[in-house]
Amino acid sequence: MNFSSINPYNGKTLAEFAVWDADRLKQALDRADRATADWRGLDLEQRCVFLRKTATVLRSRRDDWAKLITLEMGKLYKEAQDEVDKCAWVCDYYAETADQHLGDELIESDAGRSLVAYQPLGVVLAVMPWNFPMWQVFRFAAPALSAGNVGLLKHASNVPQCALAIEQVFREAGLHEGVFQTLMIGAGQVQEVIEDPRVAAVTLTGSEPAGRAVASAAAYQIKKSVLELGGSDAFVVLEDANLELAVSQGVTSRFLNAGQSCIAAKRFIVVEAIAEEFLARFKAAVEDLVPGDPMDPATSLAPMARSSLRDELHRQVADSIAAGAVALSGCAPLEGTEATYQASVLDRVAPGMRAYSEELFGPVAIVIRARDEADALRIANDSPFGLGGSVFTGDSARGEAFARRMQCGCVFVNGLVKSDPRLPFGGIKRSGYGRELACHGIREFVNAKTIWVR
């Protein structure tokens, strides 16, 4: 069995890599185990020096890493450059703030001195997806490594070159041998790694089935897990919204990365009073998107990562149309391309349709019309997912009040949902549990140890 690196735009195979056997995996686990004591034994500031060097390595070869991302998973080259920049940012962020997040916390009690010390758990396995092949990894690795943990990466099988490049970045930054390793293993080998007694915890970003499998394996071993799963984020437009802003933010949020983002705007919930005007503007902006080669600066709609993903997306769309949804724009594969789907708007989506209850992971905006604000809130919360959401209104206080009632991990008022190293990120319901980034993220894989001294 091999991992194949395939260009989604033209279908050409770029490289192939053999899947590791049991002996190769054992060697990697041995290295991680040996690295654990030395890495956690470094002063926090020493570990942060390595993070700063990692940011420097990322920036020094930014265009090389970005080109690799584009060729291997298909996103626009400019978006790939932004992704590399964001990876450097999260390294710098934790290099600057880790001491604030992990310093001893003094607490008054009946002791002469009592405190909470934050100490690393050990080896952490990260099972990561292909859609942001570097950012997803660095947003786990930067906090985990700065806290003194050792990282193992099992990346998605369609981005093996990105997976190896990430290990190379850390190696060039001078990290000790075994502190961060890419495991070239298949999905069937993940449980074996989780079961290894030297592995302390696991984090996964991916699908619900993968999340259930990893969480079950970790729970059986009584090990900590963090899950960031799918999302069907609501993008609510109230009657007093700035429509120009809502349209521009909506197009960016839905069609960035060809719509292949857990926190993309998926469900456009628009109150009837302004629905027609919003949709006229939105449809025109969507139809201005230009599909093509993601390396071409003129392209504004990238291909999807695999033709199989495009085919499944179209089945969801076609089934919803058969159930009564209206194809306002697009809603079909782009003929003559390997994996491109037309930028699409699917109107009049209602309960009972696949588009209403399922996550559409691609460049399709579904529109659900609401009677008023109360109805919009009901629809926004009528989802098994709870990752992110946004609301657009001319009254920021009204927007904040609405946001507090939305059932999800983050809400952006008059802005698109995004991850930011300074803010905690994660979901509720079937979107997973636990948090990444900010203080909350760095404390997911540490032992909050109480120390009581007479």
CA distance 370 to 326: 16
How many residues are present in the chain?
454
CA distance 241 to 247: 10
On whether the CB atoms of residues 196 and 150 are closer than 8 A, the answer is no
Secondary structure (3-state) at 152 = strand
Residue 262 designated active-site: yes
* From 72, 83, 167, 228, the catalytic residue: 228
Q: How many helices (H) and strands (E) does the chain have?
A: 15, 20
Q: Is the Cα torsion angle 37, 89, 391, 79 positive or negative in sign?
A: negative
Residues 6+ apart with CB under 8 A from 405: 377, 381
CA distance 89 to 428: 26
* From 87, 91, 262, 410, the catalytic residue: 262
Written as six digits, the tokens of 60 are: 């020094």
Output phi, psi for 244, to 5 deg: -60, -45
On whether the CB atoms of residues 247 and 367 are closer than 8 A, the answer is no
On whether the CB atoms of residues 181 and 167 are closer than 8 A, the answer is yes
Written as six digits, the tokens of 72 are: 């291997």
On whether the CB atoms of residues 8 and 258 are closer than 8 A, the answer is no
Residue indicated by tokens 């991990």: 409
Annotated catalytic sites, by residue?
Answer: 228, 262
